[in-house]
Amino acid sequence: MSILINKNTRVLVQGITGQEGQFHTRQCIEYGTNVVAGVTPGKGGQSMDSVPVYNTVRQAAEQTGANASMILVPPPFAADAILEAIDAGIDLIVCITEGVPVMDMLKIKNYLAGKKTRLIGPNCPGIITPGECKIGIMPGRIHKPGGPVGVVSRSGTLTYEVVHQLTALGMGQTTCIGIGGDPVNGTGFLDCLERFNADPETEAVVMVGEIGGNAEEKASAWIKANMKKPVVGFIAGITAPPGRRMGHAGAIVSGGQGTAEAKIAAMEESGIHVCKDLGSLGKLCKKVFV
């Protein structure tokens, strides 16, 4: 088992004919993802390698039965692409695009409420169920199929680092999700933790947070009350100066809120095993999980 995606997931790619779209679609297919369609308005009827391209998401979904979408379009068009996929009834949208305006995401987040669609991202590496399906830009080969660890993170390369350490020490992953570094995103820590908690194959979870907002604090409180599985946590940004955005739009300490110290304290208080030195995260997982 896994969460959100598996070998039966049928993926369409919005922006498939762009440079990034082509490159990452090929990487996903090479990994084994079932990419059934692409969408680029005006290029319907063409194909990218052997993947048929459609003008609209609705057409693509109707013709191919796609139930997940990977979005790789430039930021000015990302909100449009997300809304189109929601209205076409796509179950899972993974928006990789970095630089989506906050105002667009505020509206999308409210529009999503009560709908069946789940959005991951934007500004994220995507989601992977190792050995089955990869929807995103993460390097597939660093992952190890079969579990037992679930990974959820706000960062891209930091997640790769974590996964690499797990794999190197023989700990496979059920599903790894990058929820993205923007202040307003579709899926948060809580959504992922609930699913990992319910997934019989996931026996332990690694949660990687960073400065800004209070998602880690809320997740910690939930973990304390509900989580049946051990959690190892890591927070990046102890040395980040207040008031500065550290690369990610959401990574900012403002008005004393969102500090690494507060997040680490909340995690420790909730019984999460906090790793303070990234270099030893894999070893800590081995100690706690195995």
Partner 1 sequence: MKIHEYQAKSLFRQYNVPVPNGSVSTNSAEAAKIAEQLGLPVAVKAQVHAGGRGKGGGVRVAKTPKEVVEAAEAILGMSLVTKQTGAVGKKVNKVLVEQGVNIKNELYLSIIPDRETATITIVASQDGGMNIEEVAEATPERIIKVSVNPVTGIKGYHLNQVAFGLELEPALRKPFSALLKNLYALFVDYDCSMVEINPLIITGDNGVMALDAKMDIDSNALFRHPDVVQMHDPDEDDPKEAEAAKFSLNYINLDGNVGNMVNGAGLAMATMDIIKQAGASPANFLDVGGGANAEMVENGFRIILSDPNVKGILINIFGGILRCDVLASGVVQAAKKVKLSVPVVVRMEGTNVDEGRRILAESGLKLIGAADLADAAKKVAELVS
What amino acid positions are annotated as catalytic residues? 248
Name which of 41 and 101 has its Cβ closer to partner 1: 101
Asked if residue 27 binds partner 1 (CB under 8 A), the reply is yes
Name which of 54 and 234 has its Cβ closer to partner 1: 234
In the numeric block, the tokens 């930091």 are attached to: 158
Asked if residue 248 binds partner 1 (CB under 8 A), the reply is yes
Asked if residue 170 binds partner 1 (CB under 8 A), the reply is no
Which two tokens mark 84? Answer: 């189109």
Q: Nearest approach, Cβ of 147 to partner 1 (angstroms)?
A: 21
Q: Which range touches partner 1 (CB under 8 A), out of 37-45, 87-95, 197-205, 231-239?
A: 231-239
Name which of 20 and 91 has its Cβ closer to partner 1: 20
Report the residue from 43, 58, 118, 164 that binds partner 1 according to the rule CB under 8 A: 164
d(CA 2, CA 9): 12
Asked if residue 224 binds partner 1 (CB under 8 A), the reply is no
Name which of 65 and 87 has its Cβ closer to partner 1: 87
Which candidate, 268, 231, 32, places its Cα nearest to that of 149?
Answer: 231
Long-range Cβ contacts of 235-238 (<8 Å, 24+ apart): 235/208, 235/209, 235/210, 235/211, 235/260, 235/263, 235/264, 235/267, 235/274, 236/155, 236/158, 236/208, 236/209, 236/210, 236/211, 236/260, 236/278, 237/210, 237/211, 237/212, 238/264
| Residues 51-80 as x/- pattern, contact with partner 1 by CB under 8 A | ------------------------xx----
C-alpha to C-alpha distances, 14 to 101, 130, 247, 261, nearest whole angstrom: 19, 23, 25, 39
Name which of 60 and 267 has its Cβ closer to partner 1: 267
d(CA 263, CA 218): 9
Peptide bond into 148 cis (omega under 30): yes
Report the residue from 51, 81, 100, 207 that binds partner 1 according to the rule CB under 8 A: 100
Q: How many residues does the chain have?
A: 290
Distance of CA 91 to the CA centre of its chain: 15
Mode of pairing for the β-strands spanning 172-178 and 273-274: unpaired
Asked if residue 130 binds partner 1 (CB under 8 A), the reply is no
Contact 6, 129 (CB under 8 A): yes
| Residues 107-126 as x/- pattern, contact with partner 1 by CB under 8 A | x-xxx-------------x-
Asked if residue 50 binds partner 1 (CB under 8 A), the reply is no
Q: Which range touches partner 1 (CB under 8 A), out of 59-67, 80-88, 203-211, 220-228?
A: 203-211
Which sign does the torsion angle of CA 31, 37, 41, 45 carry?
A: positive
Q: Which range touches partner 1 (CB under 8 A), out of 3-11, 85-93, 133-141, 262-270?
A: 133-141
C-alpha to C-alpha distances, 175 to 20, 123, 191, 222, nearest whole angstrom: 24, 19, 13, 20
Asked if residue 135 binds partner 1 (CB under 8 A), the reply is no
Residues that bind partner 1 (CB under 8 A): 27, 75-76, 99-103, 105-107, 109-111, 125, 137-139, 141-142, 153-161, 164, 181, 183-184, 208, 210-211, 213-215, 234, 236-241, 244, 246-251, 255-256, 260, 276-280
